[in-house]
Structure 1
């Protein structure tokens, strides 16, 4: 009996010790000193909810090395969660890459013309947004500095001043067969923070910085600071913490001086320091988004290298 009593006391002491240690931080990873919340620690291969949502953020015109060196916040997330070392954009200039990601094709587009010119090339094609909505899922584009929903021209127009919103970076506006849906769900950033904080981000989401915050017209440092502000509520939300949401940050193209390899970071709580050397492309992202919502990948996405398998999602 004395032996059993000693064992019981030891067990109680151990439990009390664990309780004290557990009280040092809350589930969200908030430090006891009142500092800012930290993203949850990730564990590669850890059990988490199936990925049911994807949020894509697209930066502009920089290589993998440039983004890793010039965007320390993004680099820290890429190192903490995962990134691809051989991710190739599809073309130059910007526009065909955006179309490739959401439509599975460049549609023969070789310039950055507005929808008044290039929407006819896209024709009646479907986008991943239209696919999602047709499948009973949700889709939304958040385009910074856009003056009205689904706006098809740069703003302000070049005749008036330097544009901050670029229509060529908002691919949904080129899919004329989905115009009514675009007018409903292609908006500015006004609801993004609230949607992120309330875990009501869509099943397929695209976050589009304006020309200052995507590093097109300003520095990578400024783009990085903006990205941190936008992602803070996302990474603190239950969707992300549970594993339901994967966040993909990439660039449309490189600086045209190398081989179009761009940094693509994949943020998910099931990943830890995941470095993927498998060759992947923007069409891999097309495929990934389709697979997450359970639809057939569009166009070149059908045969694209499997991003989901490469990252183990």
Structure 2
């Protein structure tokens, strides 16, 4: 009981200190570290639509003219929640459901990499009641309990390394907070955004959600909207149909997209892990030692970096749908439960650096244990291709 109380007090203290700092008028998010190809990254996720339907939508097609259409972007699995947690932690740990989960504090995320380099980060979740809210969901501003904030669409709070840290929780706000930060030029350098269950299309339609997103994004794409080079990824968590490949419509937008690339298509293979690899490459960050290593970096983010070469398509892509979760720590089937696997402490990531010191210190005692993370970038399906464990070995990486 005592450790839990101490963690609670520490979290409250962190929230208080942050509130005091904001009360002084201090700029809470500063650009302290410019990136190779962009200085800010924003990703906004909609829900559950098949690739073939999305690309026919007029609002999506209009936005497509202003950016790069990623024609081969895949989700990791079904249902929604594992895709969200994968995008910030480099694995979904066998998760095959949308129920409340907690990932142990010794599992690091992209937040640990950002904090080491003092790169600001945050999340904005429409209708979230407050930074420390840990409930499954909440009634939204529409007054209908069906159109609310849901925990499963907030990837940060499933990780105890964030949920037990009051200072970090303060970086998670609502869309009202985004409006204020945008107006004050205080939007952090890494942003994850999730609309409520009405505007993300979960409880409405594809057309409703893309119309809302078109209206929301247009001001962010206007000339002068951001002083800094800003890259925006508009994507979906997963496809709607489980029986087909889990490919999703995705666009890269923003003033960081070169004019010559606007209205073009990119047929490189990407997944939600590409978000992690791209951040590591852009800001020359260490890695998490998980599936962030081996994921392709968004091509426009490496175009100006001589010598870097993406790993390419996984060898087994033709036979994989990315539709069924593999066994793991969060799997609902007791026969498929596995411990959290140790990261591979010998991997080199897209930033050209080894595993983060935070990760290495947490997992030092496991350096001789087998791991599924080999840096190759294979795709998985729970009934076809499963992660294979082996000795922790260095991976082959290109120049950065």
Structure 1 residues 278-287 or 178-187, which shifts more?
A: 178-187
1:14-62 Cα shifts (integer Å, max 9, x gaps):
xxxxxxxxxxxxxxxxxxxxxxxxxxxxxxxxxxx83111000011111
Partner residue, 1:132: 114
The range that moved more, 142-151 or 166-175, is 142-151
- Any idea what SS the aligned residue of 1:111 has? coil
Look up the match of 1:225.
211
Residue 239 (structure 1) shift? 6.1
Structure 2 distance, partners of 1:150, 1:172, is 11
Aligned with 1:258: secondary structure? Answer: coil
Question: For the residues of structure 1 that align with 2:211 and 2:300, how far apart are their CA atoms?
Answer: 31
Q: Which of the residues 247, 267, 270 maps onto 1:280?
A: 270
Q: Within the alignment, does 1:58 sit opposite 2:58 as a pair?
A: no
In 1, Cα distance between the equivalents of 2:294 and 2:84?
18
Q: Residue 292 of structure 2 is aligned with which of 255, 278, 301? A: 301
- CA deviations on 1:240-279 (whole Å, 9 max, x unpaired) are 5x66100001111001242000011001441322211121
Aligned pairs, number: 258
Are 2:238 and 1:249 aligned?
no
When residues 230 and 129 of structure 1 are mapped into structure 2, their CA distance, relative to the original with a 3 A threshold, is: farther
Change in Cα spacing, 1:253 to 1:109, as seen in structure 2 (3 Å) is: same
How far apart, CA to CA, are the structure 1 residues paired with 2:112 and 2:218?
A: 28
Q: Tell me, yes or no, if the aligned pair for 1:50 and 1:243 is still in contact at 8 Å.
A: no
1:119 aligns with 2:102: yes
Alignment partner of 1:207 is 2:197:
no
- Of 185, 190, 197, 2:176 maps to 190
Q: 1:234 and 1:143, CA in 2 relative to 1: closer, same or farther beyond 3 A? A: same
Between the aligned partners of 2:224 and 2:284, the Cα distance in structure 1 is: 22
Q: Provide the secondary structure at the position in 2 that maps to 1:275.
A: strand
Look up the match of 2:387.
Answer: none
1:162 Cα deviation after fit:
3.3
Q: Is the 2:45–2:194 contact (alpha carbons within 8 Å) kept by the matching residues of 1? A: yes
Q: 1:66 to 1:243 in 2, by over 3 A?
A: farther
C-alpha distance in 1, partners of 2:271/2:167?
A: 27
Paired position in structure 2 for 1:15: none
Alignment of 1:1-313 (within 5 A): 50-70=37-57, 72-114=58-100, 118-120=101-103, 122-156=104-138, 161-162=145-146, 164-179=148-163, 180-236=166-222, 238=224, 240=226, 244-255=229-240, 256-268=242-254, 269-270=257-258, 271-298=261-288, 299-308=290-299, 312=303
CA distance in structure 2 between the aligned counterparts of 1:214 and 1:311, rounded to whole angstroms? 30
How many angstroms apart in 2 are the aligned matches of 1:131 and 1:84? Answer: 26
Report the Cα distance in structure 2 between the residues aligned to 1:237 and 1:134, rounded to whole angstroms.
Answer: 32
- Greater share of helix residues, 1 or 2? 1
1:28 is matched with none
SS at match of 1:231: helix
Structure 2 unaligned spans of 5+: 1-35, 305-400
Q: How large is the Cα RMSD of the aligned pairs? A: 2.4
Question: Following TM superposition, by how much is the alpha carbon of 1:226 offset from its aligned partner in structure 2, in angstroms?
Answer: 2.1
| Residues 141 and 186 in structure 1, CA contact (< 8 A), matched pair in contact too | yes
More off after superposition, 206-215 vs 181-190: 181-190
1:287 Cα deviation from its structure 2 partner: 0.8
Change (3 A) 1:162 1:309: closer
What is the distance in 2 between the residues matched to 1:287 and 1:297? 8
Question: 1 CA distance for matches of 2:64 and 2:185?
Answer: 22
Q: Matched residue of 1:214: which SS?
A: coil
Unaligned runs of 5+ in 1: 1-48
Please state whether the residue corresponding to 1:191 is helix, strand or coil: helix
SS of residue matched to 1:302 = coil
Matched with 1:6 is none
Is the 8 Å Cα contact of residues 38 and 301 (structure 2) preserved in structure 1? no
Based on CA coordinates, which of the two structures has the bigger radius of gyration? Answer: 1
TM-score by length of 1: 0.75
